[in-house]
Structure 1
Amino acid sequence: MGISLGELWEGFSASDCRFAELAKYLAGARVLRQDPVECLLQFLCSSNNNIARITKMVDFLASLGSHLGNVEGFEFHEFPSLERLSLVSEVELRNAGFGYRSAPQSSLLFSCRRSFKQAKYITGTVDVLQSKHSGGAEWLLSLRKLDLQEAIDALCTLPGVGPKVAACIALFSLDQHHAIPVDTHVWKIATRYLLPELAGVRLTPKLCSRVAEAFVSKYGKYAGWAQTLLFIAELPSQKAILPSDFCAMEENKSAKTKER
């Protein structure tokens, strides 16, 4: 809360007229500074999953922690420590539904082979963190002192963590405010508004770096915060907040870009 969101938004708006328009309707998009252990485990749950499944998985993990209370029918728990998580077996996680969403029926065999990777990733990551000499929670906190690429490289040594998930963890829990998690959604935003010359090109790891550089060049050291609002603006629930004429204008611009 020590960061002035108003000042950031003014700076972003000055360099991007589209951001200035979006900020009028989505002004409160603040990046959380999560506990690194909680953030890491949540993003391991998020890979290749939808919101409903992610919520269910995270709720299960949270239920393993100390009970904090009940508010209007909702039970709240402290997120469990690594020590508590180390007592959870891969089988328990599988039984709780930890895995990728089902593949089409035609690829059922492949789906069975991969469907519980998240259970394996979570137990594997907890084991690796528990083996850290300084303790896993302390090791994760120490990554806040590193450069962004060093932090991402360190996170990628954990089971199930790739560059995109590592960038998410870096942005939301390791004070790496210019981290840009590049997925297909962010790629579409980048090719529509920052790098239109790449529209229609297949996303590659090298182009992920170029997208991140484009965001930082445009928005500066808090580029990850700007990207967060632009990402939110693409969600159907948030598009409903935007005026219909603004959405129509966006669609026309997108169509013209595709024609070029």
Structure 2
Amino acid sequence: MSWNKILCNYKELQLFGTLNGGQSFRWKHDKDNDEWLGVFSKTVWRLKQNGDSLQYQVIGSLHKKTDTNCSNLKEDLIYEKLLKDYFRLDLNLGEHYKEWSEKDKLFETACQQFYGIRMLHQEPVENLFSFICSQNNHISRISTMVEKLCTHYGDEICTVDGVTYYSFPQIENLADNKVESKLRELGFGYRAKFIQKSAAQIVDWGGDKWFKSLQDMKYKDAKQELMKLHGIGPKVADCICLMSLNHLQALPVDTHVYQIAAQNYLPHLRGKKNVTDKMYTEIGDHFRKLYGEMAGWAHTVLFCADLKKLKNKDDNLLTEGESQKKKRRK
């Protein structure tokens, strides 16, 4: 299968930090070939970077032209548009990195290694239920839960190397009363109730139209609406606002983010055992004042730079950067 190409400088998009930084849970890295296989928008993709381009293959898809709001485009351009939207490639990240670096020395240091960290533009339904699964959980188990949701309640897309891939479930498929008991059987624990109850609420409130209304609201109003759902607290609400509702000033605060803030920006918060509501707001407001309307995106770069699993990949990232430079010189 041939590769399609989208022009994109490697400094503008780093697949490793973007796809492996805890935003999405459906991507797997083939280290031998430095390729990524994953699912979004009812489509199975294979991605890689080569010089100044993002290359992709569409392995299988359930997409119809009417799904994309671009029915006048050729099929290959439809998939190109989906990828560009997913990685928000219309935004010049270098300009924002320069702006954030001028405001913050720590960011200036972090971005040398963690260039090209993109805030994915995810589908709200997948984003919301993936992050319900993320509560008090680690990434490998979150990924397993998300795949169970897809296998049992999504639609089959295709089979690759003996593995069958499914789309993320429609919201109605998760709202049935029988879903909770089934998910408990599958090991979701208390999250089973949150998933079924939240899905039922969203269906009652209008489904996609409700999500669209959240995008049109001011950030704080959208966050409050999300917190009316079963099992959705401030952090998960901020994740959804940031990653799928275009409220890029949203800043999810967990203990990890608290430690970054306390050690480097707000020393009076050091040594606290729990992140209180007051502390949560103070940390978010501090970074919004520092970075501006895209504070959540800027702070994601700091978050990636501080993650141990990404730190352990420093040598690989340096090698990747150097290899891209060499390819550009050819």
Fold match (TM-score > 0.5): yes
Contact 2:174 2:200 in 1 (8 A): no
- For 1:128 and 1:187, the matched residues in 2 are separated by 31
Map of 2:168 onto structure 1: 79
The equivalent of 2:85 in structure 1 is none
The 5-angstrom pairing of residues 110-121 of structure 1 reads 117-121=190-194
Residue aligned with 2:154, SS: coil
The residue that corresponds to 2:97 in the other structure is 9
Alignment length, in residue pairs? 224
For the 8 Å contact 2:288–2:295, the answer to whether it is kept is yes
Structure 1: runs of 5 or more not aligned: 100-116, 244-260
Distance apart, 1:73 and its partner CA: 4.3
Residues 50-89 of structure 1: CA distance to partner in whole angstroms, max 9, x if unpaired? 1121111100112221222233444322211112223452
Whether the aligned pair in 1 keeps the contact of 2:172 and 2:200 (CA below 8 Å) is: no
Query: Which of the residues 21, 25, 48 maps onto 2:113?
Result: 25
- Answering whether residue 294 of structure 2 is matched by residue 204 of structure 1, we say no
Identity of aligned residues (%): 39
Q: Match of 1:190, SS?
A: helix
Which residue in 1 is equivalent to 2:208? 137
8 Å CA contact 2:239, 2:252 repeated in 1: yes
Q: Name stretches of at least 5 consecutive residues in structure 2 with no aligned partner.
A: 1-88, 316-330
Counterpart pick for 1:124 among 173, 197, 204: 197
Structure 2 letter corresponding to 1:239: K
Give the corresponding residue for 2:179. 89
Aligned partner of 1:161 in structure 2 is 232
Structure 1 contact 36–140 (Cα < 8 Å) conserved:
yes
One-letter amino acid matched to 2:133: C
AA aligned opposite 2:180 = E
* Comparing 48-57 and 192-201, the one that deviates more: 192-201
Cα shift readout 1:195-240 (whole Å, capped 9, x = no counterpart): 1222123421011111011101111111101111111112112112
Which TM-score applies when normalising by structure 1? 0.82
Q: CA contact under 8 A between 1:65 and 1:79: conserved in structure 2? A: yes
From 256, 260, 263, give the equivalent of 1:189. Answer: 260
Once residues 238 and 134 of structure 2 are traced to their aligned partners in structure 1, the CA distance between those partners, rounded to angstroms, is 13
Distance in 2 between the 1:86 and 1:162 partners? 20
- What CA RMSD, in Å, does the superposition of the two structures yield over aligned residues? 1.5
Give 1:218's aligned amino acid. Answer: L
TM-score, with normalisation over the residues of structure 2? 0.65
Matched, 1:38 2:109: no
Question: Structure 2: which amino acid aligns with 1:210?
Answer: E
- 1:70 is matched with 159
Report the structure, 1 or 2, having the larger helix content.
Answer: 1
- Shift of residue 18 of structure 1? 1.9
